[in-house]
Amino acid sequence: MRKRFTVCVFCGAKTGTDARYRAEARHFGERLGARGLALVYGGAQVGLMGVLADAALATGAPVTGVLPHALSSAEVAHTGLTELRLTEGLHVRKAEMTARADAFVALPGGFGTLDELFEALSWQQLGLHQKPVGLLDDGYFASLLAFLDGAVKAGLLAAEDRARLVTHRDADTLLDALGAPRA
C-alpha cells in the first residue's frame, strides 16, 4: 500500500480572537481529508491545533499528533487521534514531525508556530530536507511577509531563500503548489 502524502501543519494552541482563524483551521483540516491526505501536527486537543485535527479526522484523514511529555497536560493531548506520539522534548518533536512530513504548512499561531515554521525553512535552506514549506495566509502573516521582503531588500536574506516560502490564501491552491495529490 502506498504511503499517503502527509502534511505537517504548525498552528496555535490557542484559537485567537478572530473566528476566521478557527474557520481557516477547520477548512484546512477538511481539505486534507477530502483530498485523501494525512496530517501530522503538534498533538494538542486545544486551540487551532484541536480544531484542525478534529476537522481532518471528521473527513477521514489519518491524524498523527507528536507532543512532548512535558506539554501533554499544558496543551492537553488529543486522545481521539489515529496515533499520538509522546516525545522527550521539542527538538525530538520537530525532528519526528519533519521525518513524517512530505510538506509543511503554517496557519495562524504564536512563538511555537513561528519556531517550527522557521526551523522547517532553515533545514530546507541547509539541505537537510527538500520538502516544500507554505503559509495559508488570509492576511494574518502580512507583517511577517513584509519583514521577510525587507530582509531581502536589506541584503540579509537571499531572494531565492525568501521564495522557498510558498504563500496562498486558498487551501487547495496552496496544497497544489506544495505538490499534494488530489483524491
92-123 pLDDT tens trace? 999 999 999 999 999 999 999 999 999 999 99
CATH number of the domain encompassing residue 155? 3.40.50.450
CA atoms within 13 A on the CB side of 1: 3
pLDDT at 183 over 90: no
Can you give the pLDDT at residue 74?
63
Phi/psi of residue 157, each to 5°? -140, 125
Can you give the pLDDT at residue 178?
98
Q: Residue with C-alpha cell 499534494? A: 180
**Is 48 a member of any domain?**
yes
Q: Domain count for the chain, please give it.
A: 1
**Contacts (Cβ under 8 Å, ≥6 apart) of 175:** 7, 31, 32, 35, 37, 103
Owning domain of residue 127: 6-176
Q: What is the pTM of this model?
A: 0.95
pLDDT digits (tens, 9 = 90+) for 129-163: 999 999 999 999 999 999 999 999 999 999 999 99
* CB-count burial class (<10 Å; 0-12, 13-18, 19+) for 19: exposed
